């Protein structure tokens, strides 16, 4: 039996792509292993959005080579592989194969070549790959990722993704719905799905838009929670917002990438909205979906960002009161248009700005979360927590809660009361311990 180990970096799409690779290799008789020491094929699925992500992978390659026995194959796949191609083979001598996000069908062939002693990088454009015939082998069955769109047609000036993942293409609605229906029916216990795409709410299969997709997937029997990521702010059309509001399965949480609170910076980033438009989208979502939580992505130190522009990001964060934010220092990416914008922000200034931003984000999140202590929630138990012998669960609003309970609760929904918070995650008490009759009636 041959074993494959895949280490995944970056976004949820990469997690989903790794599941596809397990599918491609599963057809060749490979089984998945979590232990690199026993793997015959070791793959690192990489991210290219920031230099930091790439440096981490390069460091990790040095460690992984320890597990490479004679005849084993070590590969770099994903966005960094696509970006660097054959250069990776030159730079990292222990790497045998390099394949980008549209080339995973070619894995068995390149693995065979590598075994025959031939190292290769295959990052040629293959056309509009959908992987429609490849059944993913999922790591998480309770909550499943379903890719509905690949690639990106937006041209944000900081972003490498259009170059690594190619043009936007959507799967057919019927194919997505069949996949979700199979997941819900197959006994694996899937009741939650997250639809994935680079700008997922711009989904369009030629006939159906994202509103149709939400309504149809939300109506699949057995699907109790429906999430999606990442949307683009201006693709929340009134139709999409109405579908969110009217589809009970759609969860009350939106990850809404901001990037900057300054209209001038947004313009240089070639984002298709300004500050006021972003705020209008937030208002529309909050009006249509009461109690929705909001998270975001923010870049500091984009070329030309002045202190005043950065202040506008701080003031927008204050105004919106995000539940959570992922913050990044701008990282220059070769081949992206922002390379040509002069006026780079000094590293110390980026560090100082991100520090102020993180402090603000944490203060707001903590304040909000303290306000939730004592409230009750429906949670889905996802699995064992990393520490303390507890279970990890999630609310519809995407808050993470830890609770004490039996392993049989994994995959089930329960009512809990929040009893405390670290500022970001919660401790929770199962209500059935307090009011068993009431909870029985509710379930
Ligand atoms: N530098 C810093 N952050 C970036 N992101 C994308 N490209 C860059 C870059 N060049 C961030 C954006 C995006 C998230 C996934 O990564 O905030 O939403």
| Ligand 1 pocket residue status of 50, Cβ below 6 Å | yes
CA 49 to ligand 1 center in whole angstroms? 6
Pocket test for ligand 1, best of 15, 299, 334 (most atoms within 8 A of CB): 299
Distance CA 173, CA 195 (A): 12
CA 438 to ligand 1 center in whole angstroms? 46
Q: What is the pLDDT of residues 299-325, one digit of tens each?
A: 999 999 999 999 999 999 999 999 999
Sign of the dihedral defined by the CA atoms of residues 186, 190, 191, 192, in that order = negative
What are the distances in angstroms from CA 384 to CA 292, 335, 388, 427, 433?
Answer: 26, 42, 9, 14, 20
Q: Which H or E element spans position 254?
A: strand 253-255
| Ligand 1 pocket residue status of 257, Cβ below 6 Å | yes
Q: What is the pLDDT of residues 94-122, one digit of tens each?
A: 999 999 999 999 999 999 999 999 999 99
Share of the chain above pLDDT 90, in %: 93
Q: Which domains does the chain have, with CATH numbers?
A: 2-122 (3.40.50.12160), 143-370 (3.80.30.20), 376-442 (2.40.50)
Per-residue pLDDT at 439: 63
Of all protein residues, the one whose alpha carbon is nearest to atom 12 of ligand 1 is 297
What would the mean pLDDT of 348-352 be, rounded to a whole number? Answer: 98
Per-residue pLDDT at 442: 60
Distance CA 52, CA 348 (A): 16
Side by side, the strands of the sheet bearing 324-329 are 253-255, 293-300, 324-329
Distance CA 113, CA 122 (A): 12
Round the average pLDDT of the chain to a whole number and report it.
96
Q: What is the pLDDT of residues 386-425, one digit of tens each?
A: 988 999 999 999 999 999 999 999 999 999 999 999 999 9
Q: What is the pLDDT of residues 144-158, one digit of tens each?
A: 999 999 999 999 999
Q: Which pLDDT band, with edges at 50, 70 and 90, does 441 fall under? A: low
Q: Which pLDDT band, with edges at 50, 70 and 90, does 187 fall under? A: confident
Per-residue pLDDT at 438: 65
Q: Which atom of ligand 1 is nearest to the CA of 332?
A: 10
Per-residue pLDDT at 186: 82
Q: What residues contact 57, with CB distance under 8 A and at least 6 apart? A: 9, 44, 46, 47, 76, 80
- Residue 81: name the closest of 60, 64, 62, 58 by CA: 58
Which of helix, strand or coil describes residue 72? coil
Per-residue pLDDT at 342: 86
**Alpha helices (runs of H) in 27-98, residue ranges in sequence order:** 51-64, 79-84, 86-91
Distance CA 80, CA 414 (A): 41
């Amino acid at each position: 039996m041959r074993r494959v180990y895949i280490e995944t970096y970056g976004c949820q799409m990469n997690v989903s792509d790794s599941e596809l690779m397990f599918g491609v290799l599963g057809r060749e008789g490979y089984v998945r292993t979590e232990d690199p020491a026993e793997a015959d094929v070791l793959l690192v699925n990489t991210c290219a959005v920031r230099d930091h992500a790439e440096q981490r992978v390069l460091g990790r390659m040095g460690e992984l080579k320890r597990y490479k026995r004679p005849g084993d194959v070590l590969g770099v796949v994903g966005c960094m592989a696509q970006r660097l191609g054959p250069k990776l083979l030159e730079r990292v001598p222990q790497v045998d194969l390099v394949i980008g996000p549209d080339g995973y069908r070619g894995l068995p062939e390149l693995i065979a070549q590598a075994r025959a002693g031939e190292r290769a990088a295959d990052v040629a454009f293959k056309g509009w790959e959908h992987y429609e015939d490849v059944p993913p082998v999922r790591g998480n069955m309770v909550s499943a990722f379903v890719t509905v769109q690949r690639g990106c047609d937006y041209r944000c000036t900081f972003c490498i993704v259009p170059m690594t993942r190619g043009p936007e293409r959507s799967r057919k609605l019927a194919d997505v719905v069949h996949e979700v229906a199979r997941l819900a029916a197959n006994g694996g216990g899937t009741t939650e799905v997250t639809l994935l795409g680079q700008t997922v709410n711009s989904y369009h299969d030629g006939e159906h838009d994202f509103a149709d997709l939400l309504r149809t997937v939300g109506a699949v029997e057995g699907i109790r929670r429906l999430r999606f990521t990442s949307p683009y702010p201006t693709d929340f059309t009134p139709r999409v917002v109405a579908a969110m509001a009217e589809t009970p399965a759609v969860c009350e949480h939106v990850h809404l990438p901001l990037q900057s609170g300054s209209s001038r910076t947004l313009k240089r980033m070639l984002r298709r909205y300004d500050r006021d438009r972003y705020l209008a989208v937030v208002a529309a979502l909050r009006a249509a979906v009461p109690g929705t939580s909001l998270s975001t992505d923010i870049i500091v130190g984009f070329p030309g960002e002045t202190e005043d522009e950065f202040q506008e990001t701080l003031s927008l964060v204050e105004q919106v009161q995000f539940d959570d934010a992922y913050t990044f220092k701008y990282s220059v990416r070769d081949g992206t248009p922002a390379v040509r914008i002069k006026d780079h922000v000094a590293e110390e200034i980026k560090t100082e700005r991100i520090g102020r931003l993180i402090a603000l984000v944490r203060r707001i999140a903590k304040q909000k979360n303290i306000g939730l202590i004592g409230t009750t929630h429906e949670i889905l138990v996802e699995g064992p927590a990393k520490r303390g012998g507890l279970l990890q669960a999630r609310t519809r609003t995407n808050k993470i809660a830890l609770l004490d309970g039996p392993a049989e609760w994994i995959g089930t929904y329960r009512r809990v009361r929040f009893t405390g918070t670290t500022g970001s995650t919660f401790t929770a008490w199962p209500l059935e311990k307090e009011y068993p009759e009431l909870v029985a009636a509710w379930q």
